[in-house]
Structure 1
Amino acid sequence: MALSAEKIWTDFAESHQLTDKTFQTRWFGEQSNSEEVSELTEKILAGDKTATSKPLAYYSSKDEPIPQVGDYFVLLNADMHPVGIIETVVSELVPFFHVSAEHAYNDAEGDRTLSDWQERSKEKFSSQMRKFDREFSTNDPVVCEVIKVVYRV
């Protein structure tokens, strides 16, 4: 029987004396695309994907808090079952065209080059923002996050 996100978090938090911390659940990719979620989850657990990004306007559109350094998330797989815990170790606001080649590489998608990241991200961010009747511009700031796996189920 699979452990619940709450149980995994409670065990982890107690063993690391994190009495003042809370968690949220999180997955990467479109929930409706289980293949994408599986691929990204595997990359995260393998340590290949250590960076991610979204337009700043995405967070306000979803009324979702921007990830902060020290935030913990129970990582969910494509079946929405917990597979680990990740921690945000960097969260910074960066203009789209100032996102670094290092961040693009650590995003671990496409061919891992900055130009490929920019091309894919423009398309992905535009699609994300259209869901909120908003346009994405390459002048918009992007939340660039670095994550690390701190626990595997």
Structure 2
Amino acid sequence: MATSAEQMWNTYAQAHDLTDKTFQTRWFGDQENPEEIRDLTTKILAKDKISTSRPLAYYASEGEQIPQPGDYYVLLDAEMHPVGIIETVVSELIPFLRVSAEHAYNEAEGERTLADWQARSLTKFTEQMKKFDRNFSTNDPILCEVIKLAYKE
């Protein structure tokens, strides 16, 4: 097992001739909820969860870069240890009410239906944005991202 995210990335990048690429670390779920991170990480490593979404305003509020196709991330588990490498395949802005049933299904959470995704996401995004003293509206743009598992330990 790789001892660090950097070591995992360097080994992967050399093996795949990606010397011109860089990486960031990333986990899925609320860091205060390790069980959620474990669940989502397991789904990503099983190639079941292949999409994710966040309000566009989240990225500006957190000062995070918007994922772009071709970006690589070392995936961290609930203990913040590297367990794999993912690549962003698609990154597109879509109004909340226009997110597709396919995207909702591929997030691999809840009932995997659009109605369930909308209900859960409305609650989650509203709470996320409250942390930044912002309101969330169903007219707001959502960054819908498709990811690919490129490597796992």
State the shift of 1:90 in Å.
Answer: 0.4
Contact 1:87/1:148 (8 A) holds in 2:
yes
**Superposed structure 1 runs of 4+ greater than 6 Å apart:** none
How high is the TM-score relative to the length of structure 1? 0.98
What is the percentage of aligned positions where both structures have the same residue? 69
1:2 touches 1:81 (CA, 8 Å); kept in 2?
no
Match for residue 135 of structure 1? 135
Please state if 1:108 is matched with 2:79.
Answer: no
Superposed displacement of residue 132, structure 1: 0.4
CA contact (8 A) 1:31 1:78 kept: yes
Per-residue CA deviation, residues 83-118 of structure 1 (Å, 9 max, x unaligned), is 000000000000001100000000000000000000
Following superposition, the deviation at residue 2 of structure 1 comes to 5.1
RMSD value over aligned CA atoms? 0.8
Q: How many residues align?
A: 153
SS at match of 1:142: strand
5+ unaligned residues in a row in structure 2: which ranges? none
Distance in 2, matches of 1:53 and 1:2, equals 28
Contact residue 2 and residue 8 of structure 2 kept, 8 A: no
Task: Kindly state the Cα deviation for residue 15 of structure 1 after the two structures are TM-superposed.
Answer: 0.6
Q: Deviations over 1:34-57 (max 9, x none)?
A: 000000000000011000000000
Correspondence for 2:62: 62
Q: Counterparts of 1:63 and 1:43 in 2: how far apart (Å)? A: 27
1:29 to partner: Cα distance: 0.3
Q: Which runs of 5+ in 1 are unaligned?
A: none
Q: C-alpha separation between the residues in 2 aligned to 1:62 and 1:2?
A: 29
Distance 2:6 2:19 in 1: 14
Give the TM-score normalised by the residue count of structure 2. 0.98
CA distance in 2, matches of 1:38, 1:22: 25
Distance 1:62 1:77 in 2: 21
